[in-house]
Amino acid sequence: MLTGSTTLARLFSVDTVTGLIDNQPGMKRHLSSMRGMFHDTEAVAAMLAEGDPLLYEFYDLGLPATAGDLAVGTSIVLPGKVGDEYYMTKGHFHEVLEAAEVYHCLAGHGYMIMESPEGEWEAAELHPGSAVYVPGRYAHRSVNVSPTDKLITFFAFRADAGHDYGTIEHQGFRKLVVERNGKPELVDNPAWQKGRS
């Protein structure tokens, strides 16, 4: 319950099992919207010939996109692979490049892959309870490495940060997360291009 003399505060609930936030509408991304992002293009084509699986969805509170507000929400990546590469988000830089973001893992097992315009990279393993502070200037992508469970994270960043997807669509991330001998492994992306800076 929320009580007080103003109506500025917001009380909301985050379901830690489903990742849903009250009745907020979400955005869904299917494989067809990420054709060029997985390294095994034959596997992409074969999967798309059978259908167009949902890879992830994300929800936010829909607060105003001002510098003083926070964009707050959840991201839910489904379990699965395209060839040997795990389901993941598109990933992006923020248009306001300096805008940092925090992610708190609520459920599942995954990685946050991060990369600066200069090609420096970091990978943070996520388990329920772990949180990662993605520094300003770093592109970020969530990857679900569980064979069975959704990767659910809660995020917050300054609401006017904006999203630059084009740079990652063009150059890719330097590291891919693939399955090797039944385990996740970070490998170099042979198609990576240093496209920014």
**Beta carbon of residue 163, minimum distance to ligand PAN (angstroms, whole number):** 6
**Beta carbon of residue 103, minimum distance to Zn ion (angstroms, whole number):** 9
Contact between 58 and 26 under an 8 Å Cβ cutoff? The reply is yes
Would you call 11 helix, strand, or coil by DSSP? Answer: coil
Contact between 77 and 146 under an 8 Å Cβ cutoff? The reply is no
- Please name the residue that has the structure tokens 């973001």: 101
Closest CB to Zn ion among 57 and 101?
A: 101
In the list 44, 55, 101, 143, the residue contacting ligand PAN (rule: CB under 6 A) is 101
Which sign does the torsion angle of CA 18, 14, 125, 115 carry? positive
What span, in angstroms and rounded, lies between the C-alpha atoms of 129 and 147?
Answer: 19
**Beta carbon of residue 120, minimum distance to ligand PAN (angstroms, whole number):** 18
Asked if 155 interacts with ligand PAN (CB under 6 A), we say: yes
In the list 116, 142, 144, 171, the residue contacting ligand PAN (rule: CB under 6 A) is 142
Which sign does the torsion angle of CA 89, 95, 97, 101 carry? negative
Asked if 104 interacts with ligand PAN (CB under 6 A), we say: no
**Beta carbon of residue 94, minimum distance to Zn ion (angstroms, whole number):** 6
End-to-end CA distance of the chain: 48
Identify residues 68-97 at the interface with ligand PAN (CB under 6 A): 73, 75, 89-92
What DSSP state is assigned to residue 14? Answer: B
In the list 38, 111, 157, 173, the residue contacting ligand PAN (rule: CB under 6 A) is 157
Residues lying near ligand PAN in the complex (CB under 6 A) are found at: 29, 58, 73, 75, 89-92, 101, 140, 142, 155, 157, 163
